[in-house]
Structure 1
Amino acid sequence: MERKLFCEISPLTYKISVYKNIVKRHVQDYWKKERFSSEKREEKLPVCVYRHRSLIRRKLGNVDLELQNNKAVNLAISTQKVSGILIKPGETFSFWHLVGMCTEKEGYLEGLMIGKNTTVSGIGGGMCQFTNLIHWIILHTPFEIVEHHHHDNIDLFPDYGRVIPFGTGTSIVYNYFDYRFRNTTNQIYQLIVYTDDIYLNGELYAENEQAYSYHIKGENEYFSKSQGVVYRNGEIIRTVIDRRTGNQVKRELIKKNRAKVLYDTTHLTIVEE
């Protein structure tokens, strides 16, 4: 019989493990003396670098619609804590540093989360969609992504109107699974995020135009079967274009995907390995 981890012994040991990780992250940040972005400005910087929006209520298998309605509430609360943030040269953007712990006291509701390769519900569920949006925007900048976790080994839901490549998502848990990036440029940027009745919206502004534009796409995407298990495969490629000349200056592999498919695959074209 496989030995259980301490966090798997009981609900109490799980809570102890979570608390330990939270405290550990606070201590690590204190000793690193990281310069986190903290100043906000209501007035937008002059140049819009990139904008994107994502549907708040999406078809996700048999997920309860009420959880998606609750997610809309959670996103409305959390975006107010981030919107307007200035990311100055040398500063690090930390999602959890700005949003903090999602609690019922602050108005957060039960929303969809992913845990142990399946969907669960929990207070503040839906924050992954928020960091997904931020990550997609940041991929269109020269920033250095310094912390990024993702559910890269599982494909939980079939595609319904997907507009960005599979594998560009994020996974976060307060506060030890964070999403962080550092401004390695010499100009100030500003992130604006907000919700409306349909979408989660994100806009990135800067003092000046970027010298380069960035294009991200999925390539070599296919489904395969090995020993009775279906996998989703593919690559995420980013090309960098000189805005002045229009020439491609860089082409890079951001991520290679191989994720176990956890939904009905009868409608898929599958290659035997």
Structure 2
Amino acid sequence: MAPRLVTLSPSSLLWRRSKQLALQANRLAAWAAMPERWPRPLLAPARGMGVLRASLRVDLARTDPGADPLLEAGKRHNVQLAAPAFDGLLLTPRRPLSFWRTLGRLTERAGYRHGLSLSGGCLTPSVGGGICLLANALFELAARQGWYILERHGHTMEAVPPPEGALWGLDATVFWPYVDVVVAPREGPVRLGARVQEGSLRLTVHAEGPPKTRSRLWSVDDALEETPEGPVRTNRIVRRVEDAKTGALLEERVIAENRRRLLSPEARQQTCLTCGEAGCHARVDVPGAEGREP
């Protein structure tokens, strides 16, 4: 069974943090060395892209019993604060979208609050937590539009089960700055839209004309197995991209491989606010949670 943050020794935590710092430094260096892969954000022209190519709407609220009101409020605030960074971006096949290059680091100074994060086998509050909802939406939009998937990392834990019969696995986890989502339109230029309205995140893609391709997604090798870690769900997402006029095949490949440990209903409700592990290394004090009973 993979170790959880609560079980790690101080030396193991130090080694874990050292590796994170090294990976962070390597990614920041890559930004400087390869600006063509991670270009600085650039706004699209105000005119000339009036054709709506795609739209995706995602509800911000969770309705399952495991949703903590304080952390849910933090998530809604964080997504609403982050969305404008992506609104109006110019994207082309040679100007990809990098989640972190666009958004920057999530800090309290920048206005971000504590929301729920999945880290080290635990559900932990973190500054900027819940921002994966935006990363998930951006990856799903790119996947469904046939965009190039240059970097994507799936979640390793499942806090919210997918709806029965739904295509699952179109998600993307992010961790500053080296666990990123990097995608690029197959055709360009396009203008990305990102807004929070009436409790939902809405992403749009506008261009000069209709798309020249169409795509289809499906899941293969779906499985649910018992492991020493508990139940684990796996699958692979395959995408077929065709010419919109002729139907000629342009691409068919796996764009996502997923392996998630399923949390029990009890574990989905257990965070630093409720678990009662006062000596846990991962424990986080969240403003507004004072006086709550674990």
Taking the aligned partners of 1:11 and 1:249, their CA distance within structure 2 comes to 46
2:81 equivalent in structure 1: 77
* 1:61–1:157 CA contact under 8 A, matched in 2: no
1:104 equivalent in structure 2: 108
2:202 equivalent in structure 1: 201
SS of aligned partner of 1:21: helix
Does residue 28 of structure 1 match 2:30?
yes
Deviation at 1:96, TM superposition (A): 0.9
Taking the aligned partners of 2:19 and 2:235, their CA distance within structure 1 comes to 35
* 2:66–2:265 CA contact under 8 A, matched in 1: no
CA RMSD between the two structures: 3.2
Paired residue type of 1:32 = M
Taking the aligned partners of 1:114 and 1:138, their CA distance within structure 2 comes to 23
Q: How does 1:174-185 map to 2 (within 5 A)?
A: 174-185=176-187
Deviation at 1:249, TM superposition (A): 6.3
* 1:7–1:14 CA contact under 8 A, matched in 2: no
Q: How does 1:79-228 map to 2 (within 5 A)?
A: 79-151=83-155, 153-159=156-162, 161=163, 165-185=167-187, 187-219=188-220, 221-225=222-226
Deviation at 1:251, TM superposition (A): 4.5
Change in CA separation of 1:226 and 1:71 when aligned onto 2, cut-off 3 Å: closer
Instruction: Kindly provide the CA deviation profile for residues 55-80 of structure 1, in whole angstroms up to 9, marking residues without a partner as x.
Output: 10113552312211111111111111
Q: Any stretches of 5+ residues in structure 2 without a counterpart?
A: 3-7, 267-294
* 2:139–2:171 CA contact under 8 A, matched in 1: yes
| TM-score normalised over the length of structure 2 | 0.75
Q: Any stretches of 5+ residues in structure 1 without a counterpart?
A: 266-273
SS of aligned partner of 2:32: helix
- Compare 23-32 and 111-120 and name the one that shifted more: 23-32
Length, aligned pairs only: 259
Taking the aligned partners of 1:262 and 1:98, their CA distance within structure 2 comes to 32
Change in CA separation of 1:15 and 1:118 when aligned onto 2, cut-off 3 Å: closer
SS of aligned partner of 1:139: helix
- Compare 79-88 and 215-224 and name the one that shifted more: 215-224
Deviation at 1:241, TM superposition (A): 4.1
Instruction: Kindly provide the CA deviation profile for residues 29-54 of structure 1, in whole angstroms up to 9, marking residues without a partner as x.
Output: 21223251522147362222211111
SS of aligned partner of 1:114: strand
Taking the aligned partners of 1:150 and 1:184, their CA distance within structure 2 comes to 22
Paired residue type of 1:80 = P
Paired residue type of 1:155 = E
Instruction: Kindly provide the CA deviation profile for residues 74-130 of structure 1, in whole angstroms up to 9, marking residues without a partner as x.
Output: 111111111100013411211111111111112111011110122111111111110
- Compare 202-211 and 55-64 and name the one that shifted more: 55-64
- Compare 69-78 and 245-254 and name the one that shifted more: 245-254
2:41 equivalent in structure 1: 38
1:269 equivalent in structure 2: none
* 1:71–1:124 CA contact under 8 A, matched in 2: yes
2:281 equivalent in structure 1: none
State the identity %: 21
Taking the aligned partners of 1:163 and 1:108, their CA distance within structure 2 comes to 35
Change in CA separation of 1:255 and 1:18 when aligned onto 2, cut-off 3 Å: closer
Paired residue type of 1:105 = R
Does residue 51 of structure 1 match 2:55?
yes
| TM-score normalised over the length of structure 1 | 0.80
* 1:238–1:251 CA contact under 8 A, matched in 2: yes
